[in-house]
Structure 1
């Protein structure tokens, strides 16, 4: 009886040490890490924009304008196009870093010199085909100190 129990224990021990089980755990772990990576690359259209400055809240009127943001592996660009005329067109862009949900834009290309090369730290969240970006825009030299919330949908 003791030999039989010892034999079963040895077989169970050998089965638990098989190489295949270790590879399965590593593969599962790798998939989990990939699933957590934010998928922000792509073309995005602004569908909601909110600016909180001092004691006021302003919601952007997007009925007469298209605001688009394009993000690749290392850079972003944005432009605003009035639907009815060429007036009010503006754009900008630069490089960015993304670590977890911490997204920092370095605005390198913009008409306003006072904000050129400034870094703007945000948090981002992707839910399905929606990108949510929020944070504080603060540039003392330009008199900018506001919190923003922007919601984009992926352009297909």
Structure 2
């Protein structure tokens, strides 16, 4: 009986801790960011107007992180067989993450005019969902928009 008492107390303690209130989204950490993420949805806010930019029928996008670099890839799922819907976009570079402040330096991009640009975003992580929000501003291209992207971790 004495051996069962610590086990019962442990189970009760674990049950109480695990039944706590739901956590608020937390800042992503480099460790929790590492891996592959699939884009679930994205929005662009420009001049007060919000446009849903993803999902797009017949397309997929992933973003990958290691300890210092990121890369993203978007393509059509028909493998380019329909020239009217064929798409392939990619980019990569370095990043820094401090708390929820995420800074990208885009070194490589299929939209070449976007190369060598810096962007600052806010990241939040809740369970397997990563939310990225911030401003993309490139004066030379007349780009000034806020983006909101949600990614689901690929297991």
Q: CA offsets per residue over residues 3-56 of structure 1, 9 Å max, x none? A: xxxxxxxxxxxxxxxxxxxxxxxxxxxxxxxx9762111100000100011132
Match of residue 132 from structure 1? 131
Match of residue 75 from structure 2? 81
Match of residue 54 from structure 1? 47
Unaligned runs of 5+ in 1: 1-34
What's the C-alpha RMSD, in Å, of the aligned pairs? 1.6
- C-alpha change, 1:55 and 1:103, in structure 2 (3 Å) is same
Q: CA offsets per residue over residues 100-155 of structure 1, 9 Å max, x none? A: 10000100001333221110100000100000000000010111100010000000
Q: CA offsets per residue over residues 51-90 of structure 1, 9 Å max, x none? A: 0111321112423211100000000000101112422111
Bigger radius of gyration among the two: 1
Match of residue 69 from structure 1? 63
| TM-score with structure 1 setting the length | 0.74
Match of residue 148 from structure 1? 147
Q: Which moved more, 1:43-52 or 1:79-88?
A: 79-88
Aligned equivalents of 1:118 and 1:76: distance in 2?
14
Segments of 4+ in structure 1 off by > 3 A? Answer: none
Match of residue 30 from structure 1? none
Structure number with the higher helix fraction is 1
Match of residue 97 from structure 1? 96
Aligned length: 122
- C-alpha change, 1:37 and 1:56, in structure 2 (3 Å) is closer
Q: Which moved more, 1:99-108 or 1:111-120?
A: 111-120
| TM-score with structure 2 setting the length | 0.74
Residue aligned with 1:84, SS: coil
